[in-house]
Structure 1
Amino acid sequence: MAELDGVLGLLLEPLQFDFMVRALVATLAAAVVCALLSCWLVLIGWSLMGDAVSHAVLPGVVLAYIVGVPFAVGALVFGFLAVALIGVVRDTSRVKEDAAIGIVFTTLFALGLVLISVTPSQTDLSHIIFGNVLGIGTSDLVQILVLGAIAAGLLIVKRRDLTLFAFDPTHAHAIGLSPRLLGALLLGVLALTAVVALQTVGVILVVAMLIIPGATAYLLTDRLPRMLVIAPSIAAFSAVAGIYSSYFLDTAPGGMVVLSQGAVFAIVFLVSPRHGVLVAVLRRRWRRRRPIRRRPAAP
């Protein structure tokens, strides 16, 4: 009984502080939304696009600070701008999409770094890059929850159309859906989700939250409906584990959340029942050692 009370005390200790409660709620919301979107990004092969949008919002956040408007406004504007610029470079030149993505997101990210270096500020703008989940205020938390609810709602409502777009865009077009519009919707949700996760893990680590949960779920199941349950569950567990670990180990919360997701992926990568590397090795060895039954010779 005493041991149970001790464990319960450890679990409740961080929740005595308001900033820890806000950090936990914000990280849970961001992790779940990112995990939902990551399922489609992994299936379509848009992981690099997630990297591009998450980095490209940096100058928008800095300019929003300079102008005096909420960070989300500037981040959304530059998120959509990055997507538009990638499309223009890809469609109007010989440059392929992967190169266009690299050009646009590195240029915009560099612009953000330059703006940070020349902007006089009483606020440490480097928190935008590395995240500052422990500094989230009540208004920031409300913003994260509202934007996260919008992004998750769009993904859930349009999940059937987005699934068809992911697996067979030609068939989607044949039944009257517009692959271009569905792609634009997914990119818009991507920009929105990047803004949601921005304040929790920062610009650099957002891409991890947009890829790792979906990739982990993909190793566990071949069905998208199951992925949409497994990925958010893994992300939620990692968010709680990361926040608690950062509290007791006195480390960066955003980094611990992503490390937790990476650790779960490593375990699944090794021991997944169908696609695990170690499981595959053990299965091959078992087949080699299994005695071969010889058929009796014909009389």
Structure 2
Amino acid sequence: MVRALAATVTAAAVCAVLSCWLVLVGWSLMGDAVSHAVLPGVVLAYVLGAPFAVGAAVFGFLAVALIGVVRDGGRVKEDAAIGIVFTTLFALGLALISVTPSQTDLNHVVFGNLLGVSRADLVQITALGAAVLVALLLKRRDFTLYAFDPVHAHAIGLDPRLLGAALLALLALTCVVALQVVGVVLVVAMLVIPGSTAHLLTDRFGRMLVIAPAVSVGAAVTGLYLSYHLDTASGAMVVLVQGVVFALAYLFAPRHGLLRRA
């Protein structure tokens, strides 16, 4: 439980900070694509005896590259390209799981295995999470300008394509961080819900960067303790509590809540 708590807090904080930019740029579906596309990389890493993070990162970057290739072909729109690539890679991962002899249950990669986090997993999650957070905070002004006005970013000498590629790379690494906590299926929730919740509660991006991780970490800790006492799936409870918090914000947010607008 102690290791699970540490892993949950780390993953929740990293996913929440990144989710602020994903929500503003409109990349929620991209987060879904990358989180599902890493599955075959994890299985192949297991077969080769390599760290799961290496395989997941490789296939995360591969998914982003393939989406760009299919989209830039001209006939296929971005949402279709994302759907084609991530479903194909996810299906490849499921097929590999079905034929890979394993003493460990690789289905934990799909649904998460929060209470099975080892010391090595915790070190990996902490190291990758710290690297992603440092990169996001150091380049937060550039990423924010890219999210709001890429044309202006280009006008002052920044490269929007490079900033977009860097944000996608950080997204792939963040999926690796959250993989062990909630699994492939629920990673997208941790990448979308905190930023969306914070966006309902404030109009200032600086405050979003504080509200989103605070909400996400609080929901993660609450969900983990509820799963312990109710004997339910830990990763699922973490995401469920985040969903409940979003619903409350959607209804009762001071300026943008449904009741306020009504």
TM-score (norm 1): 0.87
Aligned residue for 1:105? 86
Take 2:227 and 2:21, find their aligned partners in 1: how far apart are those partners?
30
3-state SS in 1 of match to 2:10: helix
Aligned residue for 1:219? 200
3-state SS in 1 of match to 2:74: coil
Matched, 1:147 2:145: no
State which of 161, 164, 173 in structure 1 corresponds to 2:145: 164
Note the C-alpha offset of 1:249: 0.3
Matched, 1:186 2:167: yes
Take 1:97 and 1:279, find their aligned partners in 2: how far apart are those partners?
35
Aligned residue for 1:254? 235
Aligned residue for 2:41? 60
Structure 1: 5+ residue stretches without partners: 1-19, 282-299
State which of 31, 37, 54 in structure 2 corresponds to 1:50: 31
State which of 213, 218, 221 in structure 2 corresponds to 1:237: 218
State which of 203, 210, 218 in structure 1 corresponds to 2:184: 203
How many residue pairs are counted as aligned between the two chains?
A: 262
Query: Counterpart amino acid of 1:133?
Result: L
Query: Counterpart amino acid of 2:40?
Result: P
Q: 1:194-229, CA deviations, whole angstroms, 9 ceiling, x for partnerless residues?
A: 000000000000000000000000001111100000
Note the C-alpha offset of 1:279: 2.1
Take 1:156 and 1:233, find their aligned partners in 2: how far apart are those partners?
16
Note the C-alpha offset of 1:92: 1.7
Take 1:243 and 1:257, find their aligned partners in 2: how far apart are those partners?
6
What value does the CA root-mean-square deviation take over the aligned residues?
Answer: 0.5
Take 1:243 and 1:23, find their aligned partners in 2: how far apart are those partners?
8
Structure number with bigger Rg: 1
3-state SS in 2 of match to 1:93: coil
Matched, 1:174 2:155: yes
TM-score (norm 2): 0.99
- Runs (4 or more) in structure 1 with deviation over 3 Å come to none
Query: Counterpart amino acid of 2:42?
Result: V
Note the C-alpha offset of 1:278: 1.5
Query: Counterpart amino acid of 1:185?
Result: A
Matched, 1:263 2:244: yes
After superposition, where does 1:260-299 map in structure 2 within 5 Å?
A: 260-281=241-262
Take 1:264 and 1:191, find their aligned partners in 2: how far apart are those partners?
26
Take 2:66 and 2:260, find their aligned partners in 1: how far apart are those partners?
44
Query: Counterpart amino acid of 1:96?
Result: K
Take 1:47 and 1:222, find their aligned partners in 2: how far apart are those partners?
19
Query: Counterpart amino acid of 2:153?
Result: A
Query: Counterpart amino acid of 1:126?
Result: N
Matched, 1:92 2:73: yes
Take 2:188 and 2:101, find their aligned partners in 1: how far apart are those partners?
28
Aligned residue for 2:52? 71
3-state SS in 1 of match to 2:215: helix
Query: Counterpart amino acid of 2:105?
Result: D
3-state SS in 2 of match to 1:251: coil
Note the C-alpha offset of 1:93: 3.4
Take 2:36 and 2:12, find their aligned partners in 1: how far apart are those partners?
17
Take 1:263 and 1:44, find their aligned partners in 2: how far apart are those partners?
24
Query: Counterpart amino acid of 2:184?
Result: V
Note the C-alpha offset of 1:101: 0.2
